[in-house]
Amino acid sequence: MFYKLLRSVPLLTAILVICYSYWCFIFLYCDKSLDQQQPLKFCFYHIIFYLFTWSYYKTTTTPPPAIPHDFFLSAATMNKIWDANENCEKINAILSSKAHTLPIYTYSREGHYRYCQDCAILKPDRTHHCRVCGQCILKMDHHCPWLHNCMSFSNYKFYILFLAYGAVYCLIFLSILPVELFKWYMRSKVLEEGLLYHYTLLSISGVLFLAIFSALFFYHLYLVLKNRTTLEAFRAPLFSYGQDKDGFNVGAGNNFIQVFGETKWKWFIPVFCNILYYLKR
C-alpha cells in the first residue's frame, strides 16, 4: 500500500504543477495583465491547455493492451520449460509447435523463443515484461514514473501528443511572461512582490520543461519514423538472420501511420488510431 502511494507521488506532483500553471494564468496574468491581445491569448491558451491535459489524461489512464489469448502457455508447458533449465534447444523444442502458429519473428538474446515465466506466455514481438506494472506489455517503449504508466502500443500516440502540447504550453508562458514584466517595467509600475515571484518561478520552470518536452518529443518522433521503441534503440531485436535495429522499419510514412493512423485530422488529437504493426518481409 505504502509503495503504491509512493509511486503516485510523481504523478500527483505533475498534476499539481499543471494546476499551479493554470491558476497563475487565470488569476495572475488574466486578472492583472495590461496586454491588449489578452482575449486572443486566453482562447489559444485554453485550446492548448485542453489538448495538453486531454493527452496527459489519456496517456496516464489508458491501460496496457491485453496480450492475445493465443500466446498463453499451459501450466504443463511452463513446467517443461522450468525442467529445461534454460537450455536453448530444449526450450525451442517445447515452444516451436505453438510458435509456428503465431506471428513471431524475434528471439531472445540466448536464441530461443521469447517467453515470460511470470505471465506464462510466449511473448509477441516487441513485448516486454514491466516489473512496475507486473505484466507483459505489448510494444513496450518504457515505463514512465511521472505518468504512472507504461508507454506502449495503446498509448504511445497520446504520449507523443502530450510532449508536443506540453512544449507548446510552455512556449505560451515564455512568450507572455517576459513581455509582461517588461511592460510593467516600462510603465514604471512596481510589480507586486507575489506577482514577480510567480512570474519568475513560471519562467524558470517554463524553460526547464520546454527543454525536457521538446527533447523527448523530437527523440520519440525520430523513433516513430524509424519504427523503433526506446528499448529497441538500446538493444536491437534478434531475428532469425541476426540482430536488426530496422527489423520493423517499413518506411517513414508507413511507420508514422502505424502509430498515428491514416486520418490526418486525428493525428492532432489523442484518440486511438494505431494500425497493427506488420513486418516488411
Catalytic center residues: 144
Identify the three-state secondary structure at position 106. strand
Using the rule CB under 5 A, give the single segment among 20-28, 75-83, 133-141, 165-173 that binds Zn ion.
133-141
DSSP state of 124: P
Cell numbers at 86, concatenated: 534454460
Rounded Cα distance between 192 and 214, Å, is: 32
Identify the three-state secondary structure at position 141. coil
Beta carbons within 8 Å of 220's beta carbon, 6+ residues apart: 141, 159, 160, 163, 230
CB of 153 to Zn ion, least distance (A): 13
CB of 143 to Zn ion, least distance (A): 4
Site for Zn ion in 111-130 (CB under 5 A): 116, 118-119, 129-130
CB of 65 to Zn ion, least distance (A): 12
Largest CA distance in the chain: 82
DSSP string, 215-271: HHHHHHHHHHHHT--HHHHHSPPEETTEE-TTTT---HHHHHHHHH-S-GGGGGS--
Q: In this structure, are residues 196 and 135 in contact, taking their beta carbons and an 8 Å threshold? A: no
Using the rule CB under 5 A, give the single segment among 54-62, 80-88, 103-111, 147-155 that binds Zn ion.
147-155
Q: Hey, what amino acid is at 151?
A: M
Residue 11 lies near Zn ion (rule: CB under 5 A) = no
Residue 89 lies near Zn ion (rule: CB under 5 A) = no
Applying CB under 5 A, among 14, 15, 133, 221 the residue interacting with Zn ion is: 133
Of 41 and 129, nearer to Zn ion (C-beta) is: 129
Residue 201 lies near Zn ion (rule: CB under 5 A) = no
Residue 150 lies near Zn ion (rule: CB under 5 A) = yes
Using the rule CB under 5 A, give the single segment among 8-16, 51-59, 144-152, 263-271 that binds Zn ion.
144-152
CB of 158 to Zn ion, least distance (A): 15
Q: Which positions touch Zn ion (CB under 5 A)?
A: 116, 118-119, 129-130, 132-133, 136, 143, 150
